[in-house]
Amino acid sequence: MLKRAHEIEDQLIAWRRDIHAHPELGFQETRTAGRIAETLDALSYRVQTGIGRTGVVAERGEGQPTVGVRADMDALPIEEANDVSYASQNPGVMHACGHDCHVAMALGVATLLSSESFPGTVRFLFQPAEEIEDEEGKSGAPRMIDDGAMEDVDAVIALHVDSSQPVGNITVGAGAATAGVDSFYASVIGKGGHGAYPHEVIDPIHMAGHVILALHGIVSRKTHPCDPAVVSIGSIHGGEASNVIPQKVTISGTIRHMESAVQERLHSEIERALKIAQTLGGEYTLEITRGYPPMINHPDVVGVLQRAAIDLLGAESVQTGRQQMGAEDFGFFSSLAPGAMFKLGCRIEEDERSPHHPRFDIDEGCLPIGTAILTEAALRLLRGKGEI
């Protein structure tokens, strides 16, 4: 399968560069979805568009098992700084997280599987909006699920490029691989007044200082040291004039967790920290929005991916890796069916390009490798060589 993937390497690169040059933000991926649908239709897949607003679902085969292959499509609101022939042609929008690569490799998998016979059904999930949520707080994965994209799916697989690892390395391990993420939005409310007379006001900046210290102590003093957890403040706003004590201070931040019990503890401790404002004579408001769940890699699916990668690349190229506190909405899919995502080394040697950076780019030699692993794993799941 690796040999066959290398035979279509030029096409993989062409797909990737075309998508990279024409990036689209979440729930706006109309050109990208159109190109995907055209390609899959030409390969005689059963294609549905408009799934999850701008997503594409395509199937081949009949009956069970049904194996899903997911690729996200959206870009980021970043101005590209790369001087390459395939640089973004859309000002202020860039594929800075590798979703262009994911689409190209999934199309490669579809190409290779189009000449294979197998029992069951392969279902491709080209997903919009992994990076953002809509006005109802939903990203592309739950939107596709709402439209039935995961019905009767027995296993689902995906990959993500990894610019910290060299080409030829993959990382995959069982259990929680990326964190669940929630957001909090709080106000510390006092009584504003003249800065010359602080004794006549209830100073929300003074109160917010104590709240911030308490928030920063939640993980180090209120969470078990062996439980992965993050509470990070991302914004603080209060006041405008140097001689005016404001009425309130707003604070927002992110919450990361791997387990629901830890999630609930973090939520309650954030509330406890805000109550310090009441102790000091003020008030507070707090809103916590629940976001992506942790992405759980099912051990059986991980085993299939690991064995496929070892057979194609050798055991020395396959690593288990560490948990990451970043978030990935593939967790919505893997919560409905056994699933796993692996990381695919794509580092440009001597020049690591970090995700979400204006100069993010990849060594395109990773494309046939990811294509081959996904194809081989999908076939093994379909043919019952990986028990789920």
pLDDT digits (tens, 9 = 90+) for 120-150: 999 999 999 999 999 999 999 999 999 999 9
**At which residue do the structure tokens 């209120």 appear?**
222
In the chain, what are the helix, strand and coil shares in percent, each to the nearest 5?
35, 30, 40
Looking at the chain, list the stretches that DSSP marks H as alpha helix, in order from N- to C-terminal side: 2-7, 9-21, 30-42, 99-113, 140-146, 204-216, 218-222, 260-274, 276-279, 299-313, 330-334, 366-382
Q: Would you state the CATH architecture of domain 2-179+294-382?
A: 3-Layer(aba) Sandwich (3.40)
DSSP state of 353: -
User: Residues 40-84: pLDDT tens digits?
Assistant: 999 999 999 999 999 999 999 999 999 999 999 999 999 999 999
DSSP state of 137: S
- Residues of the chain within CATH 3.40.630.10 domain(s) are 2-179+294-382
* Contact call for residues 72 and 170 (beta carbons, < 8 A): no
DSSP code string of 186-205 = EEEE-B-EETT-GGGSB-HH
Please identify every stretch of the chain with a pLDDT value under 50, giving residue numbers as ranges: none
Provide the CA 255 distance to its chain's centre, in angstroms. Answer: 15
Q: How high is the pLDDT of residue 14? A: 98
Structure token digits, residue 229: 């957890």
Structure token digits, residue 111: 């190409």
Q: How high is the pLDDT of residue 386? A: 54
What CATH code would you report for 180-290?
3.30.70.360
Which residue in the list 100, 130, 182, 363 is annotated as catalytic?
Answer: 130
**At which residue do the structure tokens 């809509």 appear?**
134
Instruction: Confirm whether 130 is a catalytic residue.
Output: yes
* Contact call for residues 270 and 188 (beta carbons, < 8 A): no
Provide the CA 281 distance to its chain's centre, in angstroms. Answer: 41
- Residues of the chain within CATH 3.30.70.360 domain(s) are 180-290
From the CB of residue 240, how many other CB atoms can be counted at a distance below 10 Å? 7
State how far the Cα of 378 lies from the Cα of 388, in Å rounded to an integer. Answer: 12
